[in-house]
């Protein structure tokens, strides 16, 4: 097999060691929140009644609660969060907020080609609504409509970019090597495509915190440290959510539990947790900032199967994540999975291959989180218990924007509304479940090995990947 640029141009071990010395094992975004946005909300005590109960205090649950409060004035809406608001994926992602509802155009075209014009329009409208939410609700989550830059870092990827730009609209610009490096000064860049309108950057933990604040201003009640143990429905109607020290009797419920085990047995094999790893640098000096250019502040994601994503923060730190996507046997979400030194060392090495002019820079934070991956690599939706319960899960790492769309879909489904969203095949069909262990671990890790092998063979996919493509399980990063 061949080598990648990250293997050919590996920085010195001393550079990597220096950059990681003193790095805090902590999520920068949450550390960066002002105290006013992190109130200590009490857990639920006793049993209460509600019109709508939402399980999960991440983006999906918070958008659902906020939009429900606008749709149902005067209704009692409660959110039950097992930890703290925005504690999991919603508070620790990269902050890329994209229009895509299908994990990229290619993935969507392979599954719902006839619906893609509608899905792309709805995705753009959804991103416009998120961008407009700052002004509409008086929020501040550091939104920047910068678009996304996709660089080629291997020769075979350049043709991919040319074909992409030829098939795209006016908002997609092809940049040759000189133009790409004029945008962002990396010696690894051979060309790039800049999608100017399809992506915005934001502060992930601020978005979750602001959604919670605005929802509470509209009467939503949020209970933290309130783990829901069991969901029950009765023949006479209603939903009961049993918690440790109480519960909620609700007319309807929404399950927004993301990567965590579903309260519905039918969904427990529908997702698996895949761990993603992230580094955040200290703030760049003016000289360091000038050395990399990046004046348009785009989000950046390269083209490999094992891809990197990186972006600037408001105070000119660089977040650098991705590449390793690790599945642990047994589907468990565990804190000790987040501490993986070899992943952080790999990321640091790839960072200084990308930006050798920043040698000497340190990383202030390192962290990881679990992605709720489905076999269709994008969210699935549905209802249960005679349309008293709605759910969405399986966002597969592209949920910052699409969670708002999911909230609209779930509220439509609970209300029995027939509209453009609920008529979508993407909404009406379920992906294949993952197999139980040990087949899940064997299959997922074999696929990961095959994807890495393709990255070392000019993108050529082996028999395993071609078979998965043929049966609709092929992964497109």
pLDDT in tens, 5-58: 999 999 999 999 999 999 999 999 999 999 999 999 999 999 999 999 999 999
Taking the model in full, what pTM does it have?
0.95
Q: Looking at residue 250, which CATH number applies to its domain?
A: 3.50.50.60
Shared domain check, 208 and 117? yes
- Work out whether the CA dihedral 413, 414, 418, 421 comes out positive or negative: negative
Contact 397, 276 (CB under 8 A): yes
Considering the domain boundaries, does residue 328 fall inside one?
yes
Alpha helices in 81-172 (DSSP H): 89-92, 105-111, 116-137, 155-167
Last residue in a domain, options 334, 355, 373? 373
Shared domain check, 277 and 191? yes
Shared domain check, 277 and 181? yes
Q: In which residue ranges of the chain is pLDDT below 50?
A: 476-477
Consecutive H or E run containing 393 = strand 389-393
CA pair distance 174, 163, nearest whole angstrom = 10
Considering the domain boundaries, does residue 408 fall inside one?
yes
Shared domain check, 312 and 183? yes
Quote the domain boundaries for residue 188: 5-31+148-196+272-373
Closest CA relative to residue 263, chosen from 221, 238, 227, 220? 227
Predicted confidence at residue 452, as pLDDT, reads 72
Shared domain check, 119 and 47? yes
Contact 54, 65 (CB under 8 A): yes
Question: Residue 303 — φ and ψ, nearest 5°?
Answer: -105, 0
Shared domain check, 277 and 192? yes
Q: How far is CA 120 from CA 108, 116, 193, 198, in A?
A: 10, 6, 18, 10
CA pair distance 291, 361, nearest whole angstrom = 13
Last residue in a domain, options 338, 373, 408? 373
Identify each DSSP E strand in 218-348 by its residue range.
221-223, 228-233, 239-243, 246-255, 272-281, 299-301, 308-312, 318-327
Considering the domain boundaries, does residue 445 fall inside one?
no
Considering the domain boundaries, does residue 405 fall inside one?
yes
Shared domain check, 209 and 67? yes
Predicted confidence at residue 168, as pLDDT, reads 80
Q: At what angle do helices 59-71 and 204-217 cross, to 10 degrees?
A: 30
Last residue in a domain, options 308, 340, 373? 373
- The total of structural domains in the chain comes to 2
Predicted confidence at residue 396, as pLDDT, reads 94
Alpha helices in 218-285 (DSSP H): none
Shared domain check, 285 and 170? yes
Shared domain check, 307 and 266? no
Shared domain check, 393 and 355? no
Considering the domain boundaries, does residue 235 fall inside one?
yes
Predicted confidence at residue 477, as pLDDT, reads 46
Shared domain check, 188 and 305? yes
Considering the domain boundaries, does residue 382 fall inside one?
yes
Shared domain check, 287 and 348? yes
Considering the domain boundaries, does residue 87 fall inside one?
yes
């Amino acid at each position: 097999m061949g080598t990648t640029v990250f293997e050919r141009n590996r920085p010195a071990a001393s550079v990597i060691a220096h950059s990681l010395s003193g790095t805090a094992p902590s999520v920068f975004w949450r550390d960066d929140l002002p105290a006013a946005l992190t109130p200590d909300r009490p857990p639920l005590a006793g049993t209460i009644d509600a019109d709508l109960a939402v399980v999960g205090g991440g983006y999906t649950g918070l958008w659902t609660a906020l939009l429900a409060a606008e749709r149902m004035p005067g209704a009692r809406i409660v959110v039950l969060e097992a930890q703290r608001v925005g504690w999991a994926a919603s508070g620790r992602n990269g902050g890329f907020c994209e229009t895509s509802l299908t994990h990229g155009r290619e993935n969507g075209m392979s599954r719902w080609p006839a619906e893609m014009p509608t899905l792309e329009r709805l995705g753009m409208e959804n991103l416009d609504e998120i961008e407009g939410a700052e002004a509409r609700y008086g929020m501040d989550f550091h939104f920047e409509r910068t678009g996304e830059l996709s660089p080629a870092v291997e020769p075979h990827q350049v043709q991919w970019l040319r074909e992409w730009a030829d098939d795209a609209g006016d908002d997609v610009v092809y940049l040759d090597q000189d133009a790409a490096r004029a945008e962002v000064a990396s010696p690894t860049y051979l060309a790039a495509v800049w999608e100017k309108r399809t992506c915005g950057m934001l502060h992930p933990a601020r978005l979750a915190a602001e959604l919670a604040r605005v929802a509470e201003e509209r009467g939503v009640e949020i209970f933290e440290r309130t783990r829901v143990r069991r969901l029950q429905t009765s023949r006479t109607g209603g939903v009961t959510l049993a918690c440790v020290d109480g519960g909620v009797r609700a007319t309807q419920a929404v399950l927004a539990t993301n990567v965590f085990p579903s309260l519905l047995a039918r969904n427990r094999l529908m997702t698996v947790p895949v761990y993603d790893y992230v580094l955040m640098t200290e703030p760049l000096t003016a000289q360091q900032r000038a050395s990399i250019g990046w004046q348009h502040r785009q989000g950046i994601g390269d083209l490999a199967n094992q891809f990197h994503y990186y972006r600037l923060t408001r105070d000119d730190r660089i977040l650098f994540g991705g590449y390793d996507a690790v599945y642990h046997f047994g589907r468990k979400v565990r804190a000790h999975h987040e501490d993986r030194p070899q992943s952080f060392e790999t990321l640091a090495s790839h960072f200084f291959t990308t930006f050798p002019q920043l040698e000497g820079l340190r990383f202030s934070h390192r962290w990881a989180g679990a992605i709720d991956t489905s076999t269709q690599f994008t969210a699935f939706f549905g209802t249960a218990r005679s349309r008293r319960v709605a759910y969405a899960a399986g966002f597969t790492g592209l949920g910052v924007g699409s969670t708002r769309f999911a909230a609209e879909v779930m509220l439509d489904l609970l209300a029995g509304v027939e509209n453009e969203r609920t008529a979508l095949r993407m909404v009406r069909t379920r992906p294949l479940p993952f197999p139980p262990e040990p087949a899940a671990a064997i299959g997922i890790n074999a696929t990961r090995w095959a994807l890495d092998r393709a990255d070392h063979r000019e993108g050529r996919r082996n028999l395993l990947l071609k078979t998965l493509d043929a049966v609709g399980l092929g992964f497109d990063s």
